[in-house]
Structure 1
Amino acid sequence: MDRQARIYIAGHRGMVGSAIWSLLERKGFKNLIGKSRGELDLKNQDDVIQFFKENKPQIVIDAAARVGGILANNDYPYQFLMDNLLIQNNLIEASIKYDVEKFIFLGSSCIYPKLAPQPLNENALLTASLEPTNQWYAIAKIAGVKACEAARVQYNRDFVSLMPTNLYGPNDNFDLETSHVLPAMIRKFNEAKENNNATVTLWGSGEPMREFLHVNDLALAVEFALTNTLPDNLYNVGTGVDLSIKALALMIQEVVGHKGTIVWDDSKPDGTPRKLMDVSKINALGWQHRIDLKDGINKTYEWFLNNQNTFKTVKIS
């Protein structure tokens, strides 16, 4: 891989994009391109086309998306469907139009059916119904996977899709209304600790099983896809190990040092019963995760404490 190649990282200021940017900088890539939301509206096709025309990226990494937890997905289904469709469609179309050499599309494990056999294999895609609470985001990401596959088939392009499991790490969203479960727990337990170890109420039964991948491990998977020609279009990216939400809560409670009570509100939805990724396909090619979950949570909590005064409320509009 030419370290002088022009690489556009869409969403370079988000948790995923910033981790990829930092890693590629450390690896010696010299021509990284990034634009903030204020500088480039990825939902505007004309603006995206003009950006590609002017900057001529050779490689595009699509880490831009509207993301959120169960609450945000439930409350704003239209935005989660349409915003993600617009962002990815504009990037894929411009990449085809301006002969981008490699396109790496990042999605989510939620593309797979709610009750698909575990662990989730890439072949489970489109075999049954999705989890209703995040189906809007999932449908958009499925469309992105299929658009990249179509580009491979019709135009012989090196477009590949990486589907990570639940992510966490530095620059995560810790807003309690729009965040995912792990960062939300870190913030809840920390605030309760500071409030005389107050009781923490968590959604659901705590029984669902989830898998978590540190964002720096995903960045390494992106680098792996960048520096190798992968034979297929779709790869799961994860640890291959899961735990219950209750076990996760106890782990985070210990890391934070909260000594109070946990109450489970089982009137709230659990979501998919289990989401464990089959990562044998990408493991067989040579990539494996490196960061242990508890070590990763410790590092993420340290980052949270050092940066909590900079957090902004994430608004859906």
Structure 2
Amino acid sequence: PGKLTYLLNNLTTVQEFILEGFPAVQHLGKPLFMVHLLLYLVSIMGSIVIITITWSDHCLQTPMYFFLSNFSFLESCFITTVIPKLLAIFLSGMQTISFAACLTQTFFFLFLGSTCFFLLAVMSLDRYMAICNPLHYHNIMNMKVCFLLVLSCYLLGFMLIIGLILMVSQLSFCDFNVINHFFCDLGPLVHLSCSDTSTVESLSFLLSVVTILSSLTITIISYTHIITTIVHLPSAKERQKAFSTCSSHLIVLVLTYGSCVFIYVKPKQADRLEANKEAALVNTVITPLLNPFIYTLRNKQVQKALRDALYRKKPMK
């Protein structure tokens, strides 16, 4: 009897979850659907433009734009794990999601998100090499090295997250199945479990610190050296241009790191679940919308490549 009770207590009786979404504004479902659909399409189109231009224009086939195109692809995949389900909630009230689909969404959200952070750190190192060590830049940052760095970001993100998701899949979920979020994020999901989640929460906190703070540290160190180098540039025009580029990058970095530190770097995942939804909305909708414009489309080289591409497509008179 004791073994039977143990087995029954450890069976996952919940076969599907209900995503609560935003109950206070659910009556505005269709307008919110249109707004978020527009933002999603703009984000995806911005990323497609970046990827197409950087791979088709010979002048943009450099390490910097190689990383930017990969970052754009990664962000498109990242928001696609979340936004389509949010659109379904707004449009038709389809709030249910199966247990397997929920775990899959959690995995890809965390895996792609972690990979984004590592790629941001790599991009910072690339700018450090270009500005602080220009004489050795092209010898060190060749395309083989760039490809290996991007591949390493994906592998590191996968290895950090897969074990955590396997641990979550072994948790028991009993009666209550309403997730206080608009997608299957780790904290709200673990909060529903009727198992002891202390090990999962501790591991999640540790991985959050390793992922977010390690990549943030690399970014801060890189930009510290970059700014120091820029300050010593002889031309005021060069300094202004360089500082303008840094400020644009820092806006996105503050949005990305700020929202994720707020959500994930907490020992208890159940803390402030309601506030986490707003932060996650910024992280999955607003920041990806801004990134194509801030990182690339404001760049004069990309603007020139866009003009050249549009000019080539114009019919000859």
In which range does the TM-score fall when normalised by the shorter chain?
A: under 0.3
| Structure 1 or 2: more strand by fraction | 1
Q: If the length of structure 1 is used for normalisation, what is the TM-score?
A: 0.24
Larger % of helix: which? 2
